[in-house]
Amino acid sequence: MVRQLRDEGVAIVMISHRMSEMLDISDRFTVLRDSKFIDTSPRAGVTEDWLIERMVLNKPKKGIRLEKSTEKPELVLEVKAMTDRGGAFQDISFNLYKGEIVGLAGLAGAGRTELVEAIVGLHPRKSGDVVVAGQTIGHSTRATMNAGVALVPDDRREKSTIHDMSIRDNLLLAVHGRPQKQRSKKSEEKIVSDWVSKFKIKMSNPYAPISSLSGGNQQKVVIARCLETKPKVLILDEATRGIDLGAKAEIYQILRELAAEGLAILVVSSELSEIFEISDRVLVMHAGDLTADLDRSNIEESDVVSAATGAKK
C-alpha cells in the first residue's frame, strides 16, 4: 500500500525503529537523535551499520560481553524443578551466578514471562523452589524482594509505570514500599538526582509525568527503581522492546556495568541479536520446557533457533 501511494505521487514520511522494514521500503533516510539532525542519505548509501552508527553515534560493536573471572563463580540464584499452576511451564531448573548475564530465549508462548513472574511471586507456582544466596524463599513478591530479587516486567505501560505519576514518584515507588525509617524530602531528591545522573535520564524536570519521557528513558527509570532495592539478582523481561537503538545501547552498557559490579542478571528477550550481544550464557525454552543451557562462546544462532523450536533438546 505504501509503495502504491508513493507511485501515485504521495510524499510519505515513515518513522520506525524497525530497520529491516525501513531498509526494504524507503527511498531516503534521515536520522535524528535527541531531537537533533544527524545525517541524511539516499537508499543506495544506507546499510544497517550506517543507521546504527548514526543512531548510537559510534561504531556498532558486535558481541561485546564482560570478561569472565577465572575464579569459581558464586551461586546466587537457584530455580529447582519449578512447575506453574497454569500449565505454562514444567520442571524448570537452572542456576544464575554472581556477575554473569544470562539470556533467556524462546518463541512467543514458550513460557518465559510466566517463569520469571513465578520466580518473583507474580505467577502461581504448583511446585519447585527458588533459592537466593543459599536461602529458600517464599512465594510472595514481598519475600522475593526482601531476598534480593528484582524484576523489570515485560509491559512498561501496564506493569512498570504509573503514567499520571511523576518521574520522581515512579522512581521512588520501591523506596516507599520498604519498611525503613522515614526519609526526608532532601534524601529522596538525592536518590532521584543520583540515578538520573548515573543513567543519563533525559527529562525536563523530575516532577514531569513519566509519560513525557521516551520509552528508553522510562525504562531507565524502572531499572533505577529496581536497583534502589539493592538486589542480588536483576531480571529483565523484554526490557528493550519498543525503544530506539541508541537507548538500547545505553541499557546494554548499564547491564554490563552492573554485572561487572557483581549483580547476577537474567535477560528475557525475543531478539536473538540482543541475546548474543549481552549474554555470557543462553537458556532456551520451548513449549514450557527448558531445552538448552548454552555457553555463549560456543554457540551459533542456529543452535538457539533449534532449541527454541523443539528441534534440539
The string of DSSP letters for the chain reads: -HHHHHHTT-------S-HHHHHHH-SEEEEEETTEEEEEEEGGG--HHHHHHHHHTS----S--PPPPSSPPPEEEEEEEEEESSSS--SEEEEEETT-EEEEEE-TTSSHHHHHHHHTTSS-EEEEEEEETTEE--SSHHHHHHHTEEEE-S-IIIII--TTSBHHHHHTHHHHTS--PPPPHHHHHHHHHHHHHHHT---S-TTSBGGGS-HHHHHHHHHHHHHTT--SEEEEESTTTT--HHHHHHHHHHHHHHHHTT-EEEEE-S-HHHHHHH-SEEEEEETTEEEEEEEGGG--HHHHHHHHTTS--
Q: Are 104 and 153 in contact (CB under 8 A)?
A: no
Q: Which residues pair with 39 in a beta bridge?
A: 31
State the pLDDT confidence band at 64, using cuts at 50, 70 and 90.
Answer: very low
Residues 40, 148: one domain? no
Residues 51, 93: one domain? no
Residues 22, 108: one domain? no
Residues 49, 117: one domain? no
Residues 143, 45: one domain? no
Residues 42, 99: one domain? no
- 61 domain residue, yes or no: no
Q: On the CB side of 45, how many CA atoms lie within 13 Å of its CA? A: 7
Strand ranges of the sheet holding 233-237, from the earlier edge strand across to the other edge: 149-152, 233-237, 264-268, 101-106, 281-286, 289-295
Residues 298, 174: one domain? yes
Q: Around Cβ 289, how many Cβ atoms within 10 Å? A: 18
State the pLDDT confidence band at 289, using cuts at 50, 70 and 90.
Answer: very high
Identify the residue with better confidence: 58 or 143.
Answer: 143
Identify the residue with better confidence: 2 or 111.
Answer: 111
Residues 221, 168: one domain? yes
Residue 244 cell numbers, joined? 530506539
Residues in CB range of 162: below 8 A, 6 or more apart = 169, 170, 173, 210
**Does position 61 have pLDDT exceeding 80, yes or no?**
no
Lowest mean pLDDT among 47-56, 107-116, 221-230, 260-269: 47-56
Domain membership of residue 43 as a residue range: 2-56
Residue 273 cell numbers, joined? 541479536
Residues 157, 239: one domain? yes
Q: Are 219 and 243 in contact (CB under 8 A)?
A: yes
Q: What is the mean pLDDT of residues 66-72?
A: 55
State the pLDDT confidence band at 246, using cuts at 50, 70 and 90.
Answer: confident
Residues 222, 266: one domain? yes
- 63 domain residue, yes or no: no
| Percent with pLDDT over 90 in the chain | 59
Q: Which of 5, 41, 7, 43 is nearest to 24 (CA)?
A: 43
Q: Where is the domain boundary, 56, 85, 101?
A: 56
- 215 domain residue, yes or no: yes
Residue 309 cell numbers, joined? 523450536
Q: What is the mean pLDDT of residues 294-300?
A: 89
Which span out of 5-9, 201-205, 281-285 was modeled with the highest average pLDDT?
Answer: 281-285
Residues 47, 154: one domain? no
Residues 100, 228: one domain? yes
Q: What's the rounded Cα separation, in Å, for the pair 35 and 14?
A: 16
- 70 domain residue, yes or no: no
- 67 domain residue, yes or no: no
- 62 domain residue, yes or no: no
Q: What's the rounded Cα separation, in Å, for the pair 192 and 147?
A: 24
Lowest mean pLDDT among 72-76, 125-129, 206-210, 286-290: 72-76
**Does position 66 have pLDDT exceeding 70, yes or no?**
no
**Does position 113 have pLDDT exceeding 60, yes or no?**
yes
Domains in the chain, number: 2
Amino acid 267: pLDDT: 98
